[in-house]
Amino acid sequence: MNARDIAPQLELAILKPEALSAEVHKVVADAMEAGCASVCVAPVWVNRVARAVSGSGVHVCSAVGFPHGTSKATLKAIEATSTIKDGAEVIDVVAHLPHVIGLDLDAARGELMEIVRAARSTRRDVAINVVFETVLLAQLGDRAERAFEVACRAARESGCDGVVTATGFHPTGGATAEAVRMLKRFGESLVIKAAGGIVNEAQARQMLDAGADRIRMDATADAREGTT
């Protein structure tokens, strides 16, 4: 097999804050050429990227509350609706981590419900995923499994469609196969997206073997080579 076999499960992303227009458009072109499922960009680029991929079959994903998830839920809801109006078909919302670390299901679910209501009132069929820093959750010792369970329940019970392993911007690290397996264990009916530090085909396949449904591949030179 070659990387084109997994292209329909790949999302090519460029989320670095210093990304220039030419870099963003190169990533979009690479995603379309490779036949990737989607491209993920910061909200500021969504309108332009949505026009560029129109008719190509490549979906537009954007990050909300990125990368730390510390904005108020109301602000995340506003960002989500604005981004959807610009053409995003998928949004990845960074959760407020203290809710999950503290095992507070009600608070975690409540934050996401506010965002989901606003997003779905803007576009009913928008796909909504929640980003958790799963390496951080895995470091919680005897509370780790419960934290994964709270994360998945909050996502599912708030009406979200999937969960994402990491932003790729947290010092604890990015995607791991073990985190994917944990999300798969507790995330029944949720789409599992492995993201954060995945830059080549070998890493992508490792995450798929662990049970990931979708891979967000960071747009480095290696990542582009891996999708050609």
- Cβ neighbourhood burial of 107 (10 Å; 0-12, 13-18, 19+): middle
Question: What is residue 4's predicted lDDT score, i.e. its pLDDT?
Answer: 73
pLDDT in tens, 83-128: 999 999 999 999 999 999 999 999 999 999 999 999 999 999 999 9
Q: Which domain CATH number covers 44?
A: 3.20.20.70
Question: What is residue 219's predicted lDDT score, i.e. its pLDDT?
Answer: 83
- Report the domain count for the chain: 1
Per-residue confidence band for 228, with pLDDT thresholds at 50, 70 and 90: very low
Strands (E), 20-74: 38-41, 59-64
59-64/162-164 β-pairing: unpaired
Give CA separation, 31 vs 22, 25, 165, 217, in Å. 14, 10, 21, 11
162-164/127-131 β-pairing: parallel
CB 64 within 8 A of CB 93: yes
Per-residue confidence band for 3, with pLDDT thresholds at 50, 70 and 90: low
Domain that holds residue 197: 3-226
C-alpha 156 chain-centroid distance: 15
pLDDT in tens, 37-93: 999 999 999 999 999 999 999 999 999 999 999 999 999 999 999 999 999 999 999
pLDDT in tens, 127-136: 999 999 999 9
pLDDT in tens, 177-216: 999 999 999 999 999 999 999 999 999 999 999 999 999 9
Strand partners, 194: 215
Q: Is the pLDDT of residue 223 over 60?
A: no
Q: Is the pLDDT of residue 163 over 50?
A: yes
Question: What is residue 5's predicted lDDT score, i.e. its pLDDT?
Answer: 86
Using CA atoms, how far apart are residues 195 and 57, in angstroms rounded to an integer? 21
pTM greater than the 0.75 cutoff: yes
